[in-house]
Each structure stands twice: as C-alpha cells, then as structure tokens.
Structure 1
C-alpha cells in the first residue's frame, strides 16, 4: 500500500509530515486531507494562505487542499 505524506504549507514555510500514512490510493488520501482541513480550520483561522499538500513517497506533490475558500481546492500540480 502506498504511503502519503500531508504537509502544511503557509506561503514559503512548510511543516513536513515525517511519518505519513498508508492508504489504498490518492482518492483515500484526498478524503483524509479534507477531513484534516475540517478539523484544523478553526485553529488556524488567523494564519495566512494555508494549504495541506499531499506528497508521495518520492516527494512529489500530488494534490493540495486549501484551508480557506479562494485557494486551489484539490488542484493537481
């Protein structure tokens, strides 16, 4: 099963996920990212342009999920 990492990016600063989580596919990783954003949104409301990025084991950014509207919702990079 592939391992996905969920990094929090605020502009140029990145809080990297060192452990990751094994999930069956990118769709499951996207669902996990959306649930995480929902949980953390209120706690991070005073921060800047925050997004949760999903990264694969090779370090490739697969998808980003913004914390606030007006971002790049689920846009592949």
Structure 2
C-alpha cells in the first residue's frame, strides 16, 4: 500500500510530515486531507494562507488542499 505524507505549507515554510500514512490510493489520501483540514481549520484561523499538501514517498506533490478558500474564513 502506498504511503502518503501530509505537509502543512504556509506560503513561506513547510512543516513536513515525516511519518506519513499508508492508504489504498490518492482518493483515500484526499479524504484524509479534507478531514484533517476540517479538524484544524478553527485552530489555524489567524495563520494566513495555509495549505495541506499531499506528497508521495518520493516527495512529489500530488495535491494541495487549502484551509480557506478565497480569503473567506468561517
């Protein structure tokens, strides 16, 4: 099973996920990323332009999920 890494990127810095998680495919990784964004959104409301980046085992960025769309925060 492939391992996916969920890095938090704020436009300047990257907090890299060093462990990752094994998931069956990219769709499962995307679902995990969306759930993580929902959990962390309120905690990071004042942190600016933050994205959760999904990377594969080679470090290649596969998908990016923004915490806030269009600058609008709830």
TM normalised by structure 1 equals 0.90
Q: How many residues align?
A: 71
Give the unaligned 5+ runs of structure 1: 72-77
- SS in structure 2 at match of 1:64: strand
2 CA distance for matches of 1:48 and 1:30?
A: 22
Gaps of at least 5 residues in structure 2 are: none
Structure 1 position 28, deviation (Å): 0.1
- Per-residue deviation, residues 1-42 of structure 1 (Å, max 9, x unmatched): 000000000012000000000000000000000000000000
Partner of 1:33: 33
Describe how 1:10-29 pairs up with structure 2 within 5 A. Answer: 10-29=10-29
Over aligned residues, Cα RMSD in angstroms? 0.9
Higher relative contact order (CA 8 A, sep 6+): 2
Q: TM-score scaled by structure 2?
A: 0.93
